[in-house]
A and B are shown apart, each in its own frame.
Chain A
Amino acid sequence: MTPFASASLRGLAVGAVCLTLLVAALLFGAAIGETRIPLETVARTVASHLRGGVHGIDPIDAGIVWNYRLSRAVVAAACGAALAVSGVVLQSLLRNPLADPYLLGISAGASYGAVSVAILGLGGGFLSLSVGALGGALLAFGFVVVLAFLSGRGPTAIILAGIAGSQLFNALTSFVVTKSATADEARGIMFWLLGNLSGVRWPDAWLAVPVALFGLTVCLLHSRALDAFAFGTHAAAALGIAVRRVQVVMIGTTALMTAVMVSLVGSIGFVGLVIPHAARLIVGVRHGILLPTAALVGAVFLIGADVLSRTIIAGQVLPIGVMTALFGAPAFALILVHRPAQTGGGR
């Protein structure tokens, strides 16, 4: 067998293992909760839903599994994957290990959009929180893009513009909340801002999954181009990359993915920052393998974080962002400590 045939066989095997892992995580996500439902029931519920018509299963269990937990796990997986992939792409493109999907003002803009709808009553009750958040996210992203464009378009300009945009929209959010919100409203908004999968149902999954898959595919198609950015934009251009076009497509794709996810579940922190580093430690820096790995790790991580957020305090659901940060921050610290030291050169 040639080395290339064996390499593609290995790729297939790894892909199969990953898919199995993801499915297992989804099933566990559906099984674990306040009432524990046997994995067998979960599997039978899913199987019968896929065939159409539910027979021989407790309808309440089936309802919890299908309508409540599984849809939630699927959205968590899509969000985790999308945020992790966005983090990888932005870190590579901007050559900054601290870049994350919210860098471009998306989370701040989404918060502002959400409070505009929820507290200021924008849209007169016809707009949902999610639509408001999506609008705010895109507005803030547009602001950041214009600012970055005016201030030189380099990686540093983009990062600084992102910081300026985020600060501005965060200030607007705080302004609205402190000026107009009741204590209850403020608490509700806070909960939403930290990430919240409670209201999530299948229609959300039908949006989140295609967006995540689309984003991952577009990024994968650019994986060689992303590799070529390792030595900077000049070197990438010298290797035949249409630098400007790749930057626009990649930043646009990650912004869209992130904005949709944030509008569905709020701004869940740390996934987009930590998972890319963890994935790099596992498989290295080549994007052809790094992107799918990050997507998988992000998906499984967020399913797990959601389960924890539902179960860690009996009778209470914590914001999922609290869980990701509680586990993400120490994990990030560990990665930093154990990362082999870089000698000379570099940043």
Chain B
Amino acid sequence: MSRLVAKGLTRRAGGRAIVDGVSLELVEGEFLALVGPNGSGKSTLISMLAGLKRPHAGDVRLGGARLDKTPRRDVARAIAVVEQQAETGERLTAREVVALGRTPHLGALSPWGEEDEAAVEAALAAVDMLRFADRDWHSLSGGERQRLHIARALAQEPGIVILDEPTNHLDIEHQLAILALVKARRMTVLAALHDLNHAALFADRIAVMDQGRLVALGRPGEVLTPERIATTFKVAAMIETAADGGCHIRFMPLPHGSQPPSRLPERHDKPRVINLLHGRV
């Protein structure tokens, strides 16, 4: 059940397609990184892949079966999602939040069992949050909350884990630790990431979104080219490729005049900004 195939996914909002005909296959066991500028449709695509939002066109299949025809409980046993933002007003402890991950494994009458306890304990340990287990959710920092969301997803024991910017509140140690952790598990991972170096370091494949479209998909070395980065992210990049095929990217602002002519949206305030800059020089 760890094979997720999307065909022609489209979703419209505000009079335009915010995800536009995206076809994508998540191969069993791989780490697929989803990158793209703000507003390029990553979170929307993720919601559709997890069955939380319905596509207006196209469909998603999980292990061959249509996702929207699969019972939610079965989907939740196969796919865990960590959303970009999720907050609660309830006074839950850290452990109770992680325990929510067991929900799809528990029936209305089945009691909380030893394996549930073990899964919660292991997940707390995996994200280095055991010491905080009995703390109140609202007393925890942003990064600690994020690690708990990830622990909750791990406690769900899914075949596929989908993470929307899992590292955006984390310190550098925990950024690397979390990504290494999900990669080391025998899980299929789809993660929206903003740090292209992290994507290059951890991902087996990288998917690039731009204005709702999937504009590139492939191995890090193939996808992360200076041209691609310049057109999609509007920055210049130097890419150092290591002998083992890994790469490291250094960024700098695009020099004036060398902006790729095609995709930059019109900005009405541009001339003023340039004048200001010129005035300073």
Contacts and interface: CB of A to CB of B under 8 A. Distances in A.
Contacts of B100: 227-228, 230-231, 239
A241 interface: yes
Contacts of B89: 95, 97, 342, 346-347
A6 interface: no
Interface in B183-213: none
A239 B104 contact: yes
B266 interface: no
B77 interface: yes
A338 to B, nearest CB: 13
B124 interface: no
A51 B194 CA distance: 75
A222 B83 contact: no
B96 A286 contact: yes
A280 interface: yes
Given A8-B111, A344-B138, A345-B145, A239 B103 contact: yes
Interface string A322-347: 00000000000000000010111111
The contact size tier of chain B is 35 or more
Contact of A240 (B76, B108, B113, B114): B76
Contacts of A92: 90
B83 A235 contact: yes
B262 interface: no
A241 B103 contact: yes
Contact of B92 (A4, A241, A285): A285
B139 A343 contact: yes
Interface string B108-149: 110111100100000000000000000010110010010000
B90 to A, nearest CB: 5
The contact size tier of chain A is 35 or more
B87 A342 contact: no
A19 interface: no
A284 B137 CA distance: 13
A10 interface: no
Given A239-B76, A240-B77, A240-B103, A234 B113 contact: no
A285 B108 contact: no
A234 B139 CA distance: 23
B103 A231 contact: no
Contacts of A231: 86-88, 100
Contacts of A343: 138-139
Given A224-B108, A345-B138, A237 B86 contact: no
A238 interface: yes
A345 B89 CA distance: 8
A221 interface: yes
Contacts of A120: none
Given A230-B100, A235-B83, A237-B51, 18 more contacts: A3-B117, A227-B100, A230-B90, A230-B92, A230-B97, A231-B86, A231-B87, A231-B88, A232-B86, A234-B52, A238-B50, A238-B79, A239-B104, A240-B72, A240-B74, A240-B76, A285-B92, A345-B87
Shortest beta-carbon contacts, A-B, top 7: A240-B76, A240-B104, A240-B73, A239-B103, A342-B138, A238-B81, A231-B86
